[in-house]
Structure formats: structure tokens, C-alpha cells
Structure 1
């Protein structure tokens, strides 16, 4: 499998994503510069975390207009797998690939810690090796991670099973205290209607090696993608 990792000015999680794909899971990986006009021959695109363009205007608003994003949209609309992590989630929302928006955390503070999530949908290319209702732990690091969508969009997300992760307690309860940023309905990650584009605020690429501490639950996302791609290609 070949991963393409987009690099914007200000990206700081691009190397983490590359390391996970290339060195931890032994897949092909390449960096894609934001001024490139094509993602090239890849099986999945990762739009990584960081502070693209210094988060000017609002997170992801400028990066959305980078030349490569036009081809990311084309790639996604043709069924290509796209994973947006943290700032990448913000960019995908700005680009119209995912509904809703990400706003300032309700406490107006940057949150950097581990968050526990409950898997709401395990029927996606990104989560099929997980169990529905499983609790996983991913790091978070964001100041604008509060997901918001209006009532009609929220109803569609629920009706179409597009909510993939919710912030939860260690026992899987969806509570206000488990929500680190005030996201509506405790939403931590969603997919598009076709299920090939996932955006989430927590960082699976930062927890793929138990040696580093903090567990390796993020490996499930990468292994799910790798196995899905191999199955489709078979």
C-alpha cells in the first residue's frame, strides 16, 4: 500500500504519519508538497496535523486553497481513501469533503493529553479491525477541536452512521466530563456519506508503538487501512 502525506507550511505531524506508515507498518510512503498539483499514484492520502499557514484566518482556511487540495478533492470524490488528522480534519471540513466545522475549545485552552474514545462505527476502511463500542485511547493536541454542525447536519450524521468516534469515559460512557473541547454530541471523528474520508481530532499516528508509552491503539487505524486496501486489490 502507498500512503501520500500532504505537507503544508506549518505542518508538524507529517513526519509522524510518514513514520507510522513507512517504518512501523512497512508500507510505501511519500511526502506530497502543498504546491503539487496531483497526489500521484497513492492508495491513501493523509492530511496531517499541525498549524498549516499558522492557522491564519481560522484553522485550515488557507490550506484549503493550496493547489494540491483540488486533487485531494478529486481523489476523494473518485473513492480514494483520505484520512484527515487534527488540522487535517479542519482542512477537510473547509474543503467541503466533510460537513460541519471545528471551533475554539469551549474552555479556550489548548488541550494536550490522552483522550478516550468510543468506536461508534466499525464498518469503515479505517475502523473495521475494531469492535463497535470498543474504547480506545489516542492523544489530542488542539486549540480548535470543538466540532459543530447544525441540527439538520447532525441528524444526517446520526441517520447515516457517519459518527465514527465519540469522546467517552474509560468504561465507554458518553459524558460531558469526557468531552475535552465541547464538541457537539461528543463527536471526535466522522466519515463522509461514502465512508472513504475520515476526519478526527485525536492523533492515531502518535500511538502506534507501545514502546513509546501511551499504548498503540492508533495502530488499529493503519492496520484497518492496510488490510482493506489489500482485500480490495485481491
Structure 2
């Protein structure tokens, strides 16, 4: 259940019986023809669908992440690593304070990797709260399913093109984008990254049949739910 559908009294009642909660981690950045909020949309929806049958509350997605390389594109908002670490720590502190004992971070953005180290360090200082971070798109079975469908799928490609990340009036490219050289890209300025990537697709077809992408999504939901079910240590 998403906490936006609950009052504080209702959440208090839930937490009296359930010590787990989910915090989705997203980003606001270019995704070629897809929504600028793709990572946030996917992380939050993944969390809600995985948690709903278990009755586990899901908190609102953190919509900003670490994405300095895409700041050459309008709409991209990047946080400093220090800012992100403080933000995530503050949210974790508050979840623990309200009685959450097990927190699953469902991450939808690769640039948020420093958040994993922050969460691990934070958890080491807690006596009554555990944390797990789950990068849903590259979890083992989900990644295996992706490769089974099409081994070439990357940022802003078909692998993030779901009915709920599409934007009206923004059409996908007809031709696949070639895989990018990530090592080369890492040394580029944001302006150079934009010139190198063009539309923003980092490799693969822009779209595949919904039957295929929805099967990928279902695998991701199942694998995320398994993280909630345990083990927790």
C-alpha cells in the first residue's frame, strides 16, 4: 500500500503489525523519447506492485538522484553525492524513528549506487533496523529475462519502455541505437555526452512488443517481492 492512500493513524495501525517498509529511489533525467521521470515511475510502481499483496507500506519515491553526466539535457536534475547521502540518511532516520524495523530500498537508477554504501553504513549503526537495497532492473532473474528477450537493452531503450513510461506525442526511433562506450563516456563533459548520445538511448531498440516488456516487468515484481519476504539476515 502506498502511504499516500493512508492517514497517519492508519499507518500507525499498519506499523503496529508490520515492521517492513519500502522506499523507492528514482531520478529525474533524460530518457530519450520516454518520460524524464522514468526511473522514479518504475521504482515506485515496482515497489507498490511487489508490496501490495504483503500489506507492506511503500513511501513516496525519492525523485532526484545522482546523474551529473546527463545535465546537458533539459529536465535532468542531479544531486551532489554529499546531498544525496544526507537526504537518504535523514529519510532512513525518520523511518526507524517511527518503528520500521526492515527497510527495502527499491532502486531504479544506476547513478544512485553511492546510496547503497550510505545505507549499509547507516544500518551498521542501528540495533533495531535492517536495510536491503534492491536494484530491480539488474537483479539476477530479471536480468536473465532481459537477455532472453533481447541482449541489447540499456538506458532509455526498450527495457525501460513500458506503457506507464511513454509520453504522448514523443515517438520512439525506428532504428536501434548502437551500444555506447561507457568508459569513453565517463570522461566526457555533460555537453559532450549529449553530442555523443544524441537522443539519449544508450543502446538497443527503442521499443519491443508489450507482451515481451510486460513479461520482463512481471519477473521484476516477483523478484522484488522475494526481497521483501526475506531472508533479512
TM range (shorter): 0.3 to 0.5
Instruction: Return the structure number with greater helix share.
Output: 2
TM-score by length of 2: 0.35
The structure whose RCO (Cα within 8 Å, separation 6+) is larger is 2
Using structure 1 for the length normalisation, give the TM-score.
Answer: 0.35
Larger-gyration structure (1/2): 2
Q: Where is the strand percentage greater, Structure 1 or Structure 2?
A: 1
